[in-house]
Amino acid sequence: MNTEATAERGPTRLDRRKERTRAALVQAGCAFLAEGRTAVSIQQITDAADVGFGSFYNHFDSKEALFEAAVQSVMDVYVAFRDQAVAGYDDPAEVFAVSFRMTGRLQRQIPELVRVMLNEGTRVLVQDQGLAPRALHDIEVAVAAGRFDIESPRLGLMAAGGALLGLLQLLDADPDLDAGEVSDLMTARVLRGFGMAKAEADELCSRPLPAQPEL
């Protein structure tokens, strides 16, 4: 059998079916996480994914492994969103501000994604992938450039991350709030906590934002 020729032909029908099944399971896991329902059975998960019960163990060893994959899939989407949003900025303080302001607005645009982040809670601030490393990098670069005045970027990450999660929770709880206005106010407050003067923080948070990235 010519394995090189097989590889060149790309994924087989079986490969594509397996990929669809895994994607359906991850999507079901995201839906349960968004609802705050993790005490569900594997049968409930496979029913929600509309796949056979036995298919679950072809992809995941446990329910916990599925939920980890679901969180990772959400963070992958968020990272792509964030990276596109800040691609055109050079000032590290503005990179941080744009990221924060647009993440707040994301609650109205994709509430299910944000609810997964909220149900994951402060754990998203200590993970090696996703929100935390990018936010930490933004803060470190802004400190090195003299744009932020804080003693510890890691503590700054915890403070900003806590503010962000609080903002998202507030917007989730009150659908009548203006997400743009509240997000900009919170961003300006965080910038002031990082040593920026009020006038500059307010001006930075009043600038037009880039177009919503494709998700």
pLDDT tens, position by position, 200-213: 999 999 999 998 87
The reply to whether 38 and 124 lie within a common domain is no
The reply to whether 47 and 79 lie within a common domain is no
17 inside domain: yes
The reply to whether 184 and 85 lie within a common domain is yes
At 100, which CATH number? 1.10.357.10
Q: How many domains does the chain have?
A: 2
Q: Which residues contact 39 (CB under 8 A, 6 or more apart)?
A: none
The reply to whether 111 and 172 lie within a common domain is yes
Comparing C-alpha atoms, which of 188, 136, 185 is closest to residue 158?
Answer: 136
Q: Is the pLDDT of residue 5 over 70?
A: no
The reply to whether 113 and 174 lie within a common domain is yes
Residue 4 — very low, low, confident or very high, per pLDDT cuts 50/70/90? low
Q: Which domain holds residue 172?
A: 70-204
Q: Is the pLDDT of residue 215 over 90?
A: no
CA end-to-end span of the chain: 40
Q: What does the DSSP assignment read for 112-156?
A: HHHHHHHHHGGGGGS-SSSHHHHHHHHHHHHHHTTS---S-HHHH
| Residue where a domain terminates, one of 60, 82, 115 | 60
Number of other CB atoms surrounding residue 167 within 10 Å? 23
The reply to whether 56 and 156 lie within a common domain is no
- Structure pTM? 0.84
The reply to whether 100 and 153 lie within a common domain is yes
The reply to whether 115 and 168 lie within a common domain is yes
55 inside domain: yes
